[in-house]
């Protein structure tokens, strides 16, 4: 789908979001989930935008996922069913979350008794209830209870706490990629089966089993134990997803508009998008491939970033001529979530409009 041109006065560097592509991405994921009886609970850390969250709910998402208590506050304006897929510990997070829980159903993913006790005592004091998912380790080795017997004991402890309601399990299969060997996918399924069986044997019903990421999303039906997924990046996609083979360039809805500010040598030009716009994230598939892709110069490499400068180098045999100072280009970033987090606003581009919206949850650190 060709993107309409931006007006000459459009400021750069800036984040531009193509609305028709967003709509296609949302509908495709929702249709997949509906056809496999999976609840879709998108992770809003990718867009941090109330408008986008409202679109996700309108298309059929059953609730929203956040990482930060501040995001929970913002996103509770779009849905009254919020999962904090992050161990919410510490006074500030708890203070902010009880405020959200007065008006919305808040579920928190945790992996320790300490976290459960902190949530219980904050909930008792405020007179609210938190739902709880136990975060289980399934191969990514970040957070998550590693031993099933410990998880069952944690479930029993949560069951005995007056202001916590055990709802089930969550996991983050961040190690799983479409290219992962079948044994790795099988281990994901088997580990969830084993966990669920041991909870059942202990008489603790597991309602929710929440997993998923964008790279695993449309393979979720192969794991029959999941009933909810939390992809985030799928709304915009990025060069990581393209190189992983889970999105096409046409399915990438977010680009950085940049201006060529210097053409210092015969194969190189400088754009006004540096690390403060593109972030320093390398591509997860090919970490030597540079800091994104210039759409108009697909064979060029964004070879080095300073804070305000992106250095773009054409290959030696390039048939393309260099741009001129003042020309505008679009960059597809490696990792869109971190780029969004660097922006105060984004420009929503439709066939006949370009409107600036705030990145509502930007800068909400806790
Ligand atoms: C706990 C959790 N759930 C869901 C997601 C969404 O995954 P993705 O960014 O691949 O869409 C993430 C991403 O970091 C995550 O940490």
Question: Based on the number of CB atoms within 10 Å of its own CB, is 43 exposed (0-12), middle (13-18) or buried (19 or more)?
Answer: buried
Distance 319 CA to ligand 1 centre (A): 39
Distance 230 CA to ligand 1 centre (A): 7
Distance 118 CA to ligand 1 centre (A): 24
User: For the CA atoms of 232, 233, 236, 241, what is the dihedral angle to 10 degrees?
Assistant: -160
Q: Nearest C-alpha to atom 5 of ligand 1 is from which residue?
A: 213
Q: State the DSSP H helix or E strand holding residue 15, giving kind and residue range, or none if neither.
A: strand 14-18
Distance 172 CA to ligand 1 centre (A): 7
Residue 260 Cα distances to 41, 253, 271, 340, angstroms: 39, 22, 4, 21
Probe residue for ligand 1, chosen from 45, 110, 137 as the CB with the greatest number of ligand atoms within 8 Å: 45
- pTM here is 0.97
Distance 64 CA to ligand 1 centre (A): 12
Q: Cα separation of 30 and 355, whole Å?
A: 26
Q: Output the CA torsion sign for 238, 240, 246, 247.
A: positive
Q: Output the CA torsion sign for 96, 102, 104, 107.
A: positive
Cα of 323 vs its chain's centroid, Å: 34
Per-residue confidence band for 2, with pLDDT thresholds at 50, 70 and 90: confident
Residue-wise pLDDT tens digits, 150-197: 999 999 999 999 999 999 999 999 999 988 999 999 999 999 999 999
Q: Is 78 in the pocket of ligand 1 (CB under 6 A)?
A: no
Domains and CATH numbers, the chain: 19-234 (3.20.20.10), 241-358 (2.40.37.20)
Residue-wise pLDDT tens digits, 36-86: 999 999 999 999 999 999 999 999 999 999 999 999 999 999 999 999 999
CB 340 within 8 A of CB 254: yes
Cα of 98 vs its chain's centroid, Å: 24
**271: nearest Cα among 280, 283, 263:** 263
Probe residue for ligand 1, chosen from 88, 232, 247, 337 as the CB with the greatest number of ligand atoms within 8 Å: 232
Q: Is 87 in the pocket of ligand 1 (CB under 6 A)?
A: no
Q: Cα separation of 306 and 7, whole Å?
A: 27
Question: Based on the number of CB atoms within 10 Å of its own CB, is 327 exposed (0-12), middle (13-18) or buried (19 or more)?
Answer: middle
Q: State both tokens at 100.
A: 């959200």
């Amino acid at each position: 789908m060709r993107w309409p041109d931006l007006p000459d006065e459009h400021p750069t560097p800036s984040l531009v979001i193509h609305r028709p592509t967003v709509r296609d991405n949302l509908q495709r994921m929702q249709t997949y989930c509906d056809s496999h009886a999976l609840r879709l609970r998108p992770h809003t850390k990718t867009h941090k935008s109330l408008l986008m969250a409202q679109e996700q709910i309108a298309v059929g998402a059953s609730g929203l996922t956040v990482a930060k208590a501040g995001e929970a506050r913002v996103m509770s304006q779009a849905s009254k069913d919020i999962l904090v897929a992050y161990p919410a510990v510490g006074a500030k997070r708890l203070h902010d979350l009880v405020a959200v829980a007065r008006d919305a159903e808040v579920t928190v993913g945790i992996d320790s008794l300490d976290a459960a006790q902190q949530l219980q005592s904050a909930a008792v004091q405020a007179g609210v209830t938190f739902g709880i998912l136990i975060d289980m380790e399934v191969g990514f080795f970040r957070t998550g209870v590693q031993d099933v017997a410990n998880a069952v004991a944690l479930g029993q402890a949560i069951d005995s706490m007056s202001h916590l309601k055990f709802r089930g399990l969550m996991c983050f299969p961040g190690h799983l990629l479409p290219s992962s060997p079948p044994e790795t996918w099988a281990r994901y399924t088997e580990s969830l089966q084993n966990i669920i069986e041991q909870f059942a044997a202990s008489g603790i019903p597991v309602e929710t089993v929440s997993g998923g990421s964008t790279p695993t999303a449309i393979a979720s039906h192969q794991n029959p134990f999941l009933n909810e997924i939390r992809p985030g990046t799928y709304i915009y996609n990025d060069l990581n997803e393209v190189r992983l083979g889970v999105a096409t360039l046409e399915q990438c809805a977010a680009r950085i508009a940049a201006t060529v500010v210097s053409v210092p040598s015969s194969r190189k030009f400088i754009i006004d998008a540096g690390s403060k716009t593109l972030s320093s994230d390398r591509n997860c598939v090919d970490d030597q491939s540079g800091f994104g892709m210039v759409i108009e110069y697909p064979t060029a490499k964004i070879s080095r970033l300073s804070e305000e400068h992106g250095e773009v180098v054409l290959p030696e045999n390039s048939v393309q001529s260099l741009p001129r100072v003042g020309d505008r280009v679009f960059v597809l970033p490696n990792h869109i979530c971190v780029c969004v987090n660097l922006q105060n606003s984004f420009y929503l581009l439709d066939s006949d409009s370009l409107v600036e919206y705030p990145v509502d949850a930007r800068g909400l650190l806790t």
